[in-house]
Amino acid sequence: IPPGAAEYRHECDAEMKKLKPSTRFKTKGPVVLIIMDGIGIGRQDRTNAFFEARTPCLDHLMAGPLTTTLRAHGTAVGLPGNDDMGNSEVGHNALGAGRIFDQGAKLVNSAAASGSLFASDLWRRLVSRPASDGAALHLIGLLSDGNVHSHIDHLFALVSAGRRDGARRVRVHILLDGRDVPETSALTYVDRLEEFLAGFVRDGYDYRIASGGGRMVTTMDRYEADWSIVRRGWEAHVLGLARKFKSAREAIETFRAEDPGIKDQYLPAFTIADDSGTPLGPVMDGDSVILFNFRGDRSIQLSRAFDDEIFEPFDRLRRPDVVFAGMMEYDGDLKIPRNYLVRPPSIDHPISEYLALAGCRQYAVSETQKFGHVTYFWNGNRSGRFDDKTETYEEIPSDRVRFDQRPWMKAAEITDSMLRALNENSYDFLRLNFANGDMVGHTGDFHSSVIAAETVDLCIARLLPAIAAHGGCALITADHGNIDQMYELAADGSIKTDKTTGALQNKTSHTLNPVPFIIYDPSFSGEYRMSELSEPPGLANIAATILLLLGYEPPDDYLPPLIGPA
């Protein structure tokens, strides 16, 4: 590299990321982004907990002139197709990036279709020992076609490629969903997997389910909210110490008989054993392990348990000498895991980077369940701040109880923190996430979801006077829908019922509904209006809108803002 070339490139890059000033719509005070996680715009009937809730503040705001709806699913957030529901990860990526990037599901689909997923040196290392010396290839992940954390087709592709490349023993460790798919659908996916594996067994291969458990109590913790969840998974998958059954179906049916009404996401951990009680698939020295989830937040902690030499969160008892890989790199800054099969989306120049270079003071707050979304995912899958001097992040520890049992969660504490930050008068751009709509909606409890919506409305009503007092404005939106459809619907629009009990079928997954977008601007006097865009707007249009209100022209490659001249 010629002398000074690196410094010159750095200076050029910084110059390219300088924001140009704008005086079109600049507010006098701060801009506050309020993300109502999991609250979309659905049918106005009893299927919609948001509609049924008493939300006077939001009702008033949505009747005003500065409101519209945004796409928050499918291709609008980088997913393969418009039948794919949005999620918090891709939603916050789009919100912070100002553009649309191909996301995990789409990237893995492409890699599998092209064959590049199975053409790397890493893949050859993963299958070499199971193909040559009787070791096992272990596949751990969410057994689902929800396409939020994983897809069962990706699992099938991995198993098929393993057989093609000579792996004689495969052990599948299944995490049961009931959250991004119907709440008691686990046996549907287990039966599909058993039938699929049986074809290999008939050909003389030793391919079996080895362990499992519900995703909310086994393996898939996030943001270190509760390491005991990961410990249970380690004990079931790696050590073979969970409660033993002869099959996954037996485990699920037994748990349901012992606790009628239990949902798949809360089913206890289990290990599959033979007639003598010996586990079928503990992870042993010389094996290979693939975590086939593509989404990062609930994959990082198990990856650390396999990768970290020094590990303090729980006693692993033993750490097998294995080749371990994730489907994707789950944290690009911390390089977790060390090995991965598919490159994650490369999201450059998110809005926070531009604002940091401009010297804007930024504040982000949420509770643990969504803290990474207003920081890591918002920043384009980066763990750290862009500028420690101008950025402040605050995490409110989440409760360790089921969310339907405490649907207000930490919304009041988040609101208190935001009010303190506003009153400090130290920030130009502030953002928060109220997790209630999403986390409570995933439980399928309608009445708790109504309380969740009313909690968010009450907290927003507390924030607006403070925003007005400081001459600011608020942008209110959501990252995807959830509580806006609480029951499964038939093709004719009627609510599905259980064939045996006649009970309404709860829906625990996200929706395909649009989300609200509201501007609360107390000083508004008609100087701008909602834009009429050539393409239906989505979450990625919000970043340019924020920049305009802060007094900056959006970068040329950002999607257009949602406001324009009157």
> By three-state DSSP, how is residue 9 classified?
helix
Structure tokens at 411: 């919304």
d(CA 498, CA 488): 10
Specify burial of residue 111 (Cβ count, 10 A radius: 0-12, 13-18, 19+): buried
Residue whose token pair is 């925003």: 467
Structure tokens at 71: 């796409």
Beta bridge partners of 489: 495
User: Considering only CA atoms, which of 293, 316, 307 is closest in space to residue 237?
Assistant: 316
d(CA 278, CA 285): 17
Beta bridge partners of 487: 506
Is residue 238 within 8 A of residue 320, CB to CB? The reply is yes
d(CA 516, CA 181): 24
DSSP-H helix ranges across 17-143:
49-52, 56-62, 88-97, 104-114, 121-132
d(CA 300, CA 278): 29
Instruction: State the first-to-last Cα distance of the chain, in angstroms, to the nearest integer.
Output: 51
Ramachandran area for residue 214 (φ above 0: left; ψ -120 to 50: alpha; else beta): beta
Is residue 147 within 8 A of residue 193, CB to CB? The reply is no
Which of the residues 22, 88, 116, 128 is marked catalytic? 88
Indicate the residue type of 463: L
Q: Which residues, at least 6 apart from 106, have a Cβ–Cβ distance to it below 8 Å?
A: 78, 79, 80
Structure tokens at 357: 């270079």
Active site residue 110: no
Structure tokens at 6: 């690196």
Specify burial of residue 190 (Cβ count, 10 A radius: 0-12, 13-18, 19+): buried
Ramachandran area for residue 111 (φ above 0: left; ψ -120 to 50: alpha; else beta): alpha
d(CA 539, CA 101): 12
Give yes or no for a cis peptide into 337 (omega within 30° of 0): yes
> By three-state DSSP, how is residue 124 classified?
helix
CA angle 83-537-479, nearest 5°? 65
Is residue 301 within 8 A of residue 221, CB to CB? The reply is yes
* DSSP 8-state secondary structure symbol assigned to residue 279: B
User: Considering only CA atoms, which of 329, 283, 306 is closest in space to residue 230?
Assistant: 306
User: Considering only CA atoms, which of 32, 35, 66 is closest in space to residue 473?
Assistant: 32
Residue whose token pair is 């930490």: 410
Residues identified as active-site? 88
